[in-house]
Structure 1
Amino acid sequence: MQLEKNYAKAESFIRVAAKQGAQLAVLPEYHLTNWVPHDPKFREACAQWKTYLEKYQALAKECNLSIVPGTIVELHEGDKLLNVAYFIGPDGSILGKYAKKNLWGSIERLHLTSSSTDPHPAFDTPLGKVGMLICWDLAFPEAFRELIAQGAKIIIVPTFWTLSDCSPQGLARNPNAEGVFLDSMLTARCYENTCAVVFANAGGPPGKGYAGLSQVCVPYIGPLVRLGGSGEGMSVVDLDMQILEDAENNYQVRADLARHDWHYDYRHSKTDAKL
């Protein structure tokens, strides 16, 4: 919860990326505060969310690039905590906002308020149509489909996913089980939606359970870059959007989803289920 120190480190990475010509900078989930909801000072730290959002808006404008500042946990009236990702345009304006829907396990569900049945928003940016998901949302193909149906071609996923998120039974079988989960899922999602996935996961000291594996994934290739291991780092990636059009021409995923008679027009609901 060293907010100013963590912001300063993020700012330094973003300035380096901007000097290399980056048009978008993406940070991990919980990058300012970590996820320590039982700490008595956690809510006090989350109450400062507007200060840091405005800092990132000013930084985006100064550096003339778009920023997704990971997620920022916001404390609202009624002691409600929201885990929110913002897309900040190069002029400093907020072009998109998403509050985490699929909360991980009992700890997040105990402390955070889900965006629940609110639609997943896709929005226009200088990079084209973009959607955002957060961490455990990755496990739900429906979330991607909802964004793809709105025309999103880039899905940005700030994440705080560790190797220790696996159960003891899973870890006994494979200590890197969560790494396999992430690599497999990210590649599958970009293929099955003919989209690009920008995945920024938390990194940290070796032996502390960090998974890392931040990457930009596209069809045909998989990861364009993949930060191996758990350590902290940064990479500037060239994303050729033509890859997505070539993949769609081949797989016709978006075309099928757009058909009026497409046979997977359903929602998982107890009340809507057809037996």
Structure 2
Amino acid sequence: MAHEAQIQISCAQFEPRIGEKDRNVETSLALIARAAASGADLIVLPELCNSGYVLESREEAYALAEETATGETIARWCEAAAKENVTLVAGFLERDGVKLYNSAVVIGPDGVIGAYRKTHLWDAEALFFERGDLGFPVFHTRFGRLGVLICYDGWFPEAWRLLALQGADIVCVPTNWVPMERQPPHLPAMANILCMGAAHSNSMVVAACDRVGTERGQPFIGQSVIVDHNGWPVAGPASRDEPEMISAKVDLSQSRRQRNWNAFNQVVRDRRTDLYGEMLGTEARPNWY
């Protein structure tokens, strides 16, 4: 597969409204069109952006959920990706039989490429969702290998590392970041710091798209960010409280070419696999070399 090294990434930070599925999808479609018109190749939307986040009951959750293969939201996003010739990563409320998942779908111009289910559930999510059971898949796209994490997954270095070891060039993070206790106001959000650290320590691009607003009393912090493979922001952090589109051009081939930090050190090669497992005890298969 021929990969396009340089791509434009856009993160479309907006405010989904709980239960207003039609309105949320229409908003997302308008943002996809806007990002594509500005040259975006890859567009990232927030976590659970078609449904809203703060659920009150399982009945409400089931009513808002849809299957990946037959969901109306997925179909409309597929139409938009084909029309605009873009790749899309977006969070949605997935139903699989009687199980519900906090998921993200990866869609290319030719349709659904795959889906990821949030592995690490945050707070009351455990009342509604099953823990993800798909591991940490890496999806092949026309511009490179793409991994997905969702929100709280980003607090686990193992998740980033397993994606890196499978050859991910970029990790997209649909998210609904909430305020962290004791956050010093003069420092970057902890979520931003984690994205920067993961990009740096794994030599891969990170594109994290948050939401804004307050939903059923829960505030969200915005500050979507795109980070290059060296760990430095190249777009954002976005506004803390307003919808905002952030975009950046990145050369994904550089994350592969420049993994050597100096004449002696290469972050993947330097791992002590004599002391810990190559793939951290998982059945994932390395695709690094």
Fold match, TM over 0.5?
yes
| CA-CA distance at 1:178 after TM superposition | 10
Q: CA separation in 1, counterparts of 2:150 and 2:27?
A: 21
Corresponding residue to 1:51 among 47, 50, 72: 72
| CA-CA distance at 1:242 after TM superposition | 4.4
Q: CA separation in 1, counterparts of 2:131 and 2:47?
A: 15
Measured at CA, do residues 112 and 179 of structure 1 come closer, stay the same or move farther in structure 2, by a change above 3 Å? farther
Corresponding residue to 1:195 among 187, 204, 223: 204
- Match for 2:159: what amino acid? A
Residues 1:223 and 2:241 aligned together: no
Secondary structure, in 3 states, of the residue corresponding to 1:237?
strand
Residues 200 and 231 in structure 2, CA contact (< 8 A), matched pair in contact too:
no
- Where does residue 87 of structure 1 map in the other structure? 106
Q: CA separation in 2, counterparts of 1:193 and 1:77?
A: 36
- Equivalent pairs: percent with the same residue? 28
Residues 65 and 94 in structure 2, CA contact (< 8 A), matched pair in contact too:
yes
Measured at CA, do residues 189 and 5 of structure 1 come closer, stay the same or move farther in structure 2, by a change above 3 Å? same
| CA-CA distance at 1:86 after TM superposition | 1.2
Measured at CA, do residues 221 and 136 of structure 1 come closer, stay the same or move farther in structure 2, by a change above 3 Å? closer
Secondary structure, in 3 states, of the residue corresponding to 1:157?
strand
Measured at CA, do residues 222 and 101 of structure 1 come closer, stay the same or move farther in structure 2, by a change above 3 Å? same
Residues 241-250 or 210-219, more deviating: 241-250
| CA-CA distance at 1:60 after TM superposition | 0.4
Residues 1:244 and 2:259 aligned together: no
- Where does residue 275 of structure 2 map in the other structure? 263
- Where does residue 115 of structure 1 map in the other structure? 132
Corresponding residue to 2:50 among 17, 27, 32: 32
TM norm structure 1: 0.84
Structure number with the higher strand fraction is: 2
Query: Matched residue pairs, number?
Result: 255
Q: CA separation in 2, counterparts of 1:115 and 1:183?
A: 23
Residues 212 and 220 in structure 2, CA contact (< 8 A), matched pair in contact too:
yes
What is the CA deviation profile of residues 103-135 of structure 1, one whole-angstrom value per residue up to 9, with x for unaligned ones? 112x1112101124x431112111201111111
- Where does residue 129 of structure 1 map in the other structure? 145
Residues 1:76 and 2:109 aligned together: no
Structure 1 unaligned runs (5+)? 270-275
Measured at CA, do residues 81 and 186 of structure 1 come closer, stay the same or move farther in structure 2, by a change above 3 Å? same
Measured at CA, do residues 145 and 19 of structure 1 come closer, stay the same or move farther in structure 2, by a change above 3 Å? same
Residues 1:6 and 2:24 aligned together: yes
| CA-CA distance at 1:77 after TM superposition | 2.3
Measured at CA, do residues 19 and 139 of structure 1 come closer, stay the same or move farther in structure 2, by a change above 3 Å? same
Runs of 4+ in 1 over 4 A off after TM superposition: 175-179, 205-208, 266-269
Secondary structure, in 3 states, of the residue corresponding to 2:247?
coil
TM norm structure 2: 0.80
Q: CA separation in 2, counterparts of 1:161 and 1:182?
A: 7
- Match for 1:77: what amino acid? G
Measured at CA, do residues 177 and 104 of structure 1 come closer, stay the same or move farther in structure 2, by a change above 3 Å? farther
- Show the 5 A alignment for 1:88-107: 88-91=107-110, 93-105=111-123, 107=124
- Where does residue 180 of structure 1 map in the other structure? 189
Secondary structure, in 3 states, of the residue corresponding to 2:100?
strand
Q: CA separation in 2, counterparts of 1:48 and 1:22?
A: 27
Residues 47 and 174 in structure 2, CA contact (< 8 A), matched pair in contact too:
yes
Q: CA separation in 2, counterparts of 1:193 and 1:179?
A: 20
